[in-house]
Structure 1
Amino acid sequence: MDKNQLEALKNLLSSPQKVVIIPHKNPDGDAIGSTLGLALYLEKLGHSCHVIAPNDYPKFLKWMPTEERIIKYDQTMKHAIDLINDATLIFTLDFNHLSRIGAMGEDVEEAKAPCVMIDHHQQPADYATYMYSDTTMSSTCEMVYHFINMLGDIKLIDQNIASCLYTGIMTDTGSFKFASTTGTTHRVAAALLDTGIDGFKIHSKIADTNSTNRMKLLGCALKNLVVLEDYKTAFISLSKEELNAHDFKKGDTEGFVNYGLSLEGIVFAVIFIEDLQDNFIKLSLRSKGDFSVNQFARNHFNGGGHDNAAGGRSDHTMEATIEKFKAILPDYKTQLYEAYED
């Protein structure tokens, strides 16, 4: 983080603030972990904090310390807007463009309070007064740890804060196996474990909570798996009908895309999921090596993210979206083979 910005922010935090902390829409473990961890830390400094999520999130994240405090914008909109308007400081975590929080974006843009961005995604927008952006970081939770350290308060990290931050690091690194995992990531995780938290229990609460319907939905997804060997690519599709047939709940498809990427010889995997309410297709994209799914998603599917993990959307039908995807692949054949050979 820029030293001048850090000093200015440190000065601002030297007196009590009314803080609002916001994760992205459809928040994941990193988004929830970073917002809760930051809120718990700032409250130790004497600040008043409210965490406002654009919408709900998966059940497997609802064990986290003080999770019940999170306000859902889409459920209590007036209350959420009042808090945003009354805030003296707004933190936006795990996203870098206001479009990632849906309708809340306009409220944040119109708010008088300065914004602080803490995020590790590529190509940040310039809405924030204070920006801590680092695309080399494994997760926003790792960045919150470093942010607390930069403010000289590492000793304030207790077991509740550590549990939140460890969860986000663990989930965003795929249990420490993604390329974004560095030696520093492991050292941060070790420091968090040293507070006395139980890493095994955290892993279990995230990963060992499958319902029967989710497991059967995974079977359906794998049955729909298509492998395009000529392009080192695999994709999965799930329709509304298939989701409804398995009593789909938010978070049920988490990690499904990685099954395609786990195949030998595959460097690019995608899952196409039909939205249950609106007429669009959600894409999750994953890759190995130097093949950038961030750029692929930005170029063709109104999305973005990281080089090896990104999201996108299509307003076409499932069939038309898949046909578009397959038609694009020949343009990337050389890049895909280069990523495979690496």
Structure 2
Amino acid sequence: MTNKDISRVKELLEGNKKIVIVPHKGPDGDAMGSTLALKILLEHLDHYVQLIAPNDYPNFLKWMPYQDEVLIYDRDPKKCDDYIAEADVIFTLDFNHLSRAGEMYKPLKGAKASFIMIDHHQQPDDYAEVTYSDVSMCSTCQMVYHFIENIGLDEKITPQIATCLYTGIMTDTGSFRYRSTTSLTHRVIADLIDKGADNTSIHENIFDTSSYGQLQLLGCALQNLKVVEGLRTAYITLSQEELDRHNFKKGDTEGFVNYGLSLEGIVFAAIFIENEAEKIVKISFRSKGTFSVNDFARRYFDGGGHINAAGGKSDLSLQETVDKFISILPTYKKNLAL
């Protein structure tokens, strides 16, 4: 953040303000961790704060502090629209284009509030009065930690805030294994533990709460795992019928794509998940090294994200989507060939 940004944020937070905080549609651990941490901090500063998620989020995140105070937009849009219209300041966290807020796009676009963006994804839009964007950061939660430092409130980090920030950093770095995890990230994590984050219980709450159906679905996904010979690529498919058969719930496929990447010699992995309700195929991409799945997702599948982790979607059928994916791979033979 620049000194000008820091000064402007402090001005915007003077007095008691009505503040709305928004994560992206389909919130993950980083989105919910960063927004909940900021909500707790700003409420401690006597602001009136409402966190509004565009839609529901996975059960494995619903142990987090204050999550029961989150409004879900698609459950009560009128109430949420009123909060957005009355807000003095709106924080958007872990996304950088208002379209990523789903059905909240229109009310956010029409809001009179001052916007503050905190995000680590590539190619940010310019809708915010203050934009704190850093694509080198491993997570928005780490950025919120530095945001709190920059505005001089690091002593206000409570055990609850530390817990939320640790959760987002841990989940967005694959438990600290991704390339974006730096020595600074580890120093931040150490400070969060010192400030009260219980790392053991956080990991247990995230990773040790699988349902029987979820593990059966994982088995199905691994049965469907395919390798594209000669192009160091693996992919998984899950049809709507397979999801239904295993009582799929939001968040159940979290991390499945990484199993493809765990195969020896694989540098590019994808998972294709059929969603009949939305009439799309949802896609997650992962890679190792310099192969940019962000560029790949943006170019071919209406998505984006980071160099080594991105998402996309397809309006084609599941099989047509997979066929399209396979047909594109030879274009990247120089990057993917053995």
TM range (shorter): over 0.9
1:55 aligned onto 2:58: no
What does residue range 169-248 of structure 1 map to in structure 2 within 5 Å?
A: 169-248=169-248
User: 2: CA distance between counterparts of 1:35 and 1:77?
Assistant: 19
What code does the residue aligned with 1:67 have?
Q
Aligned to 1:260: 260
State whether residues 233 and 268 of structure 2, in contact with CA within 8 Å, keep that contact through their aligned partners in structure 1. Answer: yes
State whether residues 163 and 196 of structure 2, in contact with CA within 8 Å, keep that contact through their aligned partners in structure 1. Answer: no
User: 1: CA distance between counterparts of 2:298 and 2:123?
Assistant: 11
User: 2: CA distance between counterparts of 1:276 and 1:135?
Assistant: 33
Aligned to 1:122: 122
State whether residues 142 and 188 of structure 2, in contact with CA within 8 Å, keep that contact through their aligned partners in structure 1. Answer: yes
CA deviation digits over 1:157-215, x for unaligned, max 9?
Answer: 01000000000000000000011100010000000000132101000000000100000
Aligned to 2:271: 271
User: 1: CA distance between counterparts of 2:299 and 2:331?
Assistant: 12
State whether residues 120 and 133 of structure 2, in contact with CA within 8 Å, keep that contact through their aligned partners in structure 1. Answer: yes
Aligned to 1:136: 136
What code does the residue aligned with 2:211 have?
S
User: 2: CA distance between counterparts of 1:196 and 1:20?
Assistant: 26
Shift of 1:5: 1.9
SS in 2 for 1:102: helix
Aligned to 1:97: 97
User: 2: CA distance between counterparts of 1:84 and 1:103?
Assistant: 13
Q: Normalised by the size of structure 2, how large is the TM-score? A: 0.99
The list of structure 1 runs, each at least 4 consecutive aligned residues, that deviate by more than 2 angstroms after superposition, is: none
CA deviation digits over 1:13-35, x for unaligned, max 9?
Answer: 12211000000001000000000
User: 2: CA distance between counterparts of 1:154 and 1:269?
Assistant: 39
Question: Which 5+ residue runs of structure 1 have no aligned equivalent?
Answer: none
Aligned to 1:147: 147
Aligned to 2:37: 37
SS in 2 for 1:313: strand
User: 2: CA distance between counterparts of 1:225 and 1:44?
Assistant: 48
Q: Normalised by the size of structure 1, how large is the TM-score? A: 0.98
State whether residues 22 and 92 of structure 2, in contact with CA within 8 Å, keep that contact through their aligned partners in structure 1. Answer: yes
User: 2: CA distance between counterparts of 1:86 and 1:336?
Assistant: 51
Paired residues in the alignment total 338
What code does the residue aligned with 1:268 have?
F
SS in 1 for 2:52: strand
Percentage of matched positions with identical amino acids: 58
SS in 2 for 1:103: helix
CA deviation digits over 1:259-302, x for unaligned, max 9?
Answer: 00000000000000001412110000000000000000000000
What code does the residue aligned with 1:153 have?
L
Aligned to 1:4: 4
What code does the residue aligned with 2:94 have?
D
SS in 2 for 1:230: coil
CA RMSD of aligned residues (A): 0.8
Aligned to 2:82: 82
